[in-house]
């Protein structure tokens, strides 16, 4: 649903919408449960109501509602409903929320209906998250008994229909538990994508949830030699998104916060605040870097350009499984603030930033709504392509990337995020909290030019509110004489 993710893009524009409508849309965009409720109402209930014979006598109502659809920019598709269902399931999984609590009414709207809860349980089952499926389906069963069936309270289900729904839910629960235990037996508890490693038929779900964090914290970090994320990466990601760190006490003791000019004469009289999250590989944050009015300008410039973010090589209809955000690209000459941002990045990193010479890509801005995320991925591109299958891989590489791959990433946090939205590095064991006006910087490539597989990272789901970020990707070859070299081994 476009307006749920893009409400901020037309806030303050010339659309004929009242302030009250804008406030409602803002609440919907910032609350994942309310987003799912609203999406399901628009996708399932409104078409039936709109086409009902009784409304044909109320042409002013139908025409008014149709005009609101056009004015607000509602574009309802089946994948929008799937996207919100998966988003809520993902939030519950990553942040270890209780499904029963999410079923209850929110401060801004009604409770999820039984059909909503069941759809989330089935989505979890389809994604091999059998433990979570059991949890959602159990919540649906409790919800059925509490509400007397699926409905809005105007018409109670009769006992026969309620018994039938209870019977169907019990079958789904049995299926989820059986598939979970069968998969564990077949895979010998290794590399299983589900949440809970013990058979659900023997160990209660709540017992395993209580032990989940302890098991993860006791395991040593592993540096994978593969590009795509592993089950271990996904498990660690959930812990990092909740604010935990997996660095040892010895590793953490060497990290510092300090003020410095980063070797730039321009910053000597206005040094920046630097926070070290990791030394090897280096992951740094710069705090209080940009002023609120500068960030507001970047958001305002981006709003009319926002488009659904895509993933290279992924089915467009399933993009929401990989990432859910809207992005735009800003050139340096667009506005003095964009030029100032590029200048600041160059001073902080010591790297060349001329877009005309393709030393860096354009500034990319991203808007994430409630539940917005990006699965674990690498920022470098070459190793994602089938370059090495050609007869002359070096020639093909130079043709596709004349200035090399993305050597580094500079990410700016452009607003205050209410809850969630961290940037997590599962193979390093750290995550960075989004702070308005701050930025995080890391290298994607080793000094040899090969991709650093430790730099797998993800955008944790936004639990409440929205999240604006902007990325600057810097190219490899123009930095030949600018990127610091590693000291020679003695």
Residues 61 and 202 in one domain: yes
List of long-range contacts for 238-242, beta carbons under 8 Å, 24+ apart: 238/93, 238/94, 238/95, 238/96, 239/213, 240/422, 240/424, 240/425, 240/426, 240/429, 240/430, 240/431, 240/460, 241/94, 241/95, 241/420, 241/422, 241/424, 241/431, 241/460, 241/461, 242/94, 242/95, 242/96
- pLDDT tens, residue by residue, 7-55: 333 333 333 444 444 555 555 556 777 776 676 666 666 666 666 665 5
Q: Is residue 17 part of a domain?
A: yes
- pLDDT tens, residue by residue, 356-411: 899 999 999 999 988 888 989 999 876 555 544 555 555 666 677 788 889 999 99
Number of domains in the chain: 2
Residues 253 and 155 in one domain: no
Burial of 265 (0-12, 13-18, 19+ CB in 10 A): exposed
* Number of other CB atoms surrounding residue 46 within 10 Å: 15
- Smallest Cα–Cα separation from 462: which of 370, 367, 338? 370
Q: Is residue 487 part of a domain?
A: no
Burial of 78 (0-12, 13-18, 19+ CB in 10 A): exposed
Residues 331 and 280 in one domain: yes
What is the model's pLDDT at position 111? 66
Alpha helices in 350-481 (DSSP H): 393-400
Q: At which of 178, 195, 218 does a domain end?
A: 218
Report the DSSP pairing between strands 419-420 and 423-425.
Answer: unpaired
Q: Is residue 238 part of a domain?
A: yes
What is the model's pLDDT at position 153? 47
Q: Is residue 13 part of a domain?
A: yes
Residues 164 and 240 in one domain: no
DSSP state of 48: H
Buried b (16+ CB within 10 A) or exposed e, 353-372: bebeeebbebbbbbbbbbbb
In angstroms, the Cα distances linking 85 to 25, 118, 143, 320, 324 are: 19, 10, 17, 11, 13
Helix (H) or strand (E) holding 458: strand 457-459
What is the model's pLDDT at position 340? 95
Task: Give 430's strand partners.
Answer: 425
Residues 238 and 180 in one domain: no
CA pair distance 49, 212, nearest whole angstrom? 45
CA pair distance 444, 449, nearest whole angstrom? 9
Q: Is residue 287 part of a domain?
A: yes
Q: At which of 183, 218, 253 does a domain end?
A: 218
CA pair distance 182, 368, nearest whole angstrom? 37
Alpha carbons within 13 A on the beta-carbon side of 345: 30
Residues 207 and 243 in one domain: no
DSSP string spanning 207-239?
A: HHHHHHHHHHHHSPP---SSSS--HHHHHHHHH
DSSP string spanning 56-111?
A: GG-HHHHHHHHHHHHHHT----HHHHHHHHHHHHHHHHHTT--HHHHHSPBTTBPP
CA pair distance 88, 34, nearest whole angstrom? 10
Task: Give me the residue label for tokens 């760190």.
Answer: 245
Domain hosting 46: range is 2-218
What SS3 class is residue 246?
coil
What is the model's pLDDT at position 13? 34
Report whether the peptide linkage leading into residue 281 is cis, meaning its omega lies within 30 degrees of zero.
Answer: yes
Q: Is residue 225 part of a domain?
A: no
pLDDT tens track of the chain, all 490 residues?
333 333 333 333 333 444 444 555 555 556 777 776 676 666 666 666 666 665 555 566 566 556 555 544 444 556 666 777 778 888 888 888 888 777 776 555 566 778 888 888 888 888 778 888 888 888 888 877 766 545 444 455 456 667 777 888 888 888 888 888 887 766 655 555 556 778 888 888 878 777 665 545 545 555 556 667 787 888 899 899 999 999 999 999 999 999 999 999 999 999 999 999 999 999 999 999 999 999 999 999 999 998 887 665 555 555 556 667 889 999 999 999 999 999 999 999 999 999 989 999 999 999 998 888 898 999 987 655 554 455 555 566 667 778 888 999 999 999 999 999 999 999 999 999 999 999 999 999 988 888 899 999 999 999 888 899 999 999 998 898 888 766 554 3
Residues 199/176, Cβ–Cβ less than 8 Å: no
Q: At which of 163, 197, 218 does a domain end?
A: 218
Residues 189 and 276 in one domain: no
What is the model's pLDDT at position 118? 86
Residues 262 and 337 in one domain: yes
Report the DSSP pairing between strands 406-413 and 467-475.
Answer: antiparallel
Q: Is residue 226 part of a domain?
A: no
Residues 67 and 163 in one domain: yes
Q: Is residue 223 part of a domain?
A: no
Residues 158 and 254 in one domain: no
CA pair distance 401, 209, nearest whole angstrom? 46
């Amino acid at each position: 649903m476009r307006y749920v993710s893009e409400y901020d893009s037309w806030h303050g524009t010339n659309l004929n919408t009242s302030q009250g409508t804008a406030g409602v849309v803002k609440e919907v965009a910032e609350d994942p449960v309310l987003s799912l409720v609203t999406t399901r109402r628009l996708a399932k209930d409104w078409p039936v109501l709109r086409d009902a014979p009784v409304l044909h006598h109320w042409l002013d109502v139908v025409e008014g509602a149709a005009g609101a659809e056009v004015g607000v920019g509602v574009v309802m598709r089946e994948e929008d409903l799937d996207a919100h269902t998966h988003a809520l399931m993902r939030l519950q999984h990553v942040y270890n929320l209780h499904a029963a609590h999410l079923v209850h009414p929110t401060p801004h709207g009604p409770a999820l209906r039984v059909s909503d809860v069941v759809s989330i349980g089935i989505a979890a089952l389809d994604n091999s998250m059998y433990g979570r499926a059991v949890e959602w389906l159990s919540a649906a069963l409790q919800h059925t008994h509490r509400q007397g069936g699926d409905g809005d309270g105007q018409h109670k289900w009769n006992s026969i229909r309620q018994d039938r729904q209870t019977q169907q839910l019990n079958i789904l629960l049995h299926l989820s538990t059986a598939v979970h235990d069968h998969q564990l037996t077949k895979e010998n508890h290794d590399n299983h994508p589900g949440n809970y490693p013990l058979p659900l038929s023997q160990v209660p779900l709540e017992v395993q949830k209580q032990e989940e964090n302890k098991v993860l914290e006791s395991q040593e970090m592993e540096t994978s030699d593969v590009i795509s994320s592993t089950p271990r990466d996904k498990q660690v990601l959930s812990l990092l998104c909740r604010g935990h760190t997996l660095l040892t006490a010895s590793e953490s003791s060497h990290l510092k916060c300090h003020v410095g000019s980063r070797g730039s004469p321009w910053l000597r009289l206005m040094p920046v605040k630097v926070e070290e999250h990791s030394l090897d590989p280096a992951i740094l944050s710069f705090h209080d870097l940009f002023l609120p009015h500068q960030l507001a300008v970047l958001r305002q410039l981006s709003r009319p350009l926002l488009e659904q973010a895509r993933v290279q090589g992924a089915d467009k209809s399933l993009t929401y499984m990989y990432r859910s955000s809207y992005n735009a690209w800003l050139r340096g000459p667009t506005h003095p603030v964009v030029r100032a941002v590029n200048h600041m990045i160059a001073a902080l990193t010591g790297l060349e930033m001329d877009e005309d010479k393709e030393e860096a890509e354009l500034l990319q801005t991203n808007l994430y709504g409630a539940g917005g995320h990006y699965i674990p991925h690498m920022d470098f591109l070459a190793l994602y392509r089938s370059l090495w299958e050609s007869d002359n891989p070096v020639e093909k590489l130079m043709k596709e990337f004349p200035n090399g791959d993305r050597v580094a990433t500079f990410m700016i946090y452009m607003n205050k995020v209410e809850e969630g939205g961290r940037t997590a590095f599962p193979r390093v064991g750290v995550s960075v909290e989004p702070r308005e006006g701050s930025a995080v910087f890391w290298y994607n490539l080793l000094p040899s030019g090969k991709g650093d597989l430790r730099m797998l990272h993800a955008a944790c789901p936004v639990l409440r509110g929205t999240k604006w970020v902007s990325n600057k990707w810097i190219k490899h070859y123009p930095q030949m004489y600018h990127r610091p070299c590693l000291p020679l081994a003695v």
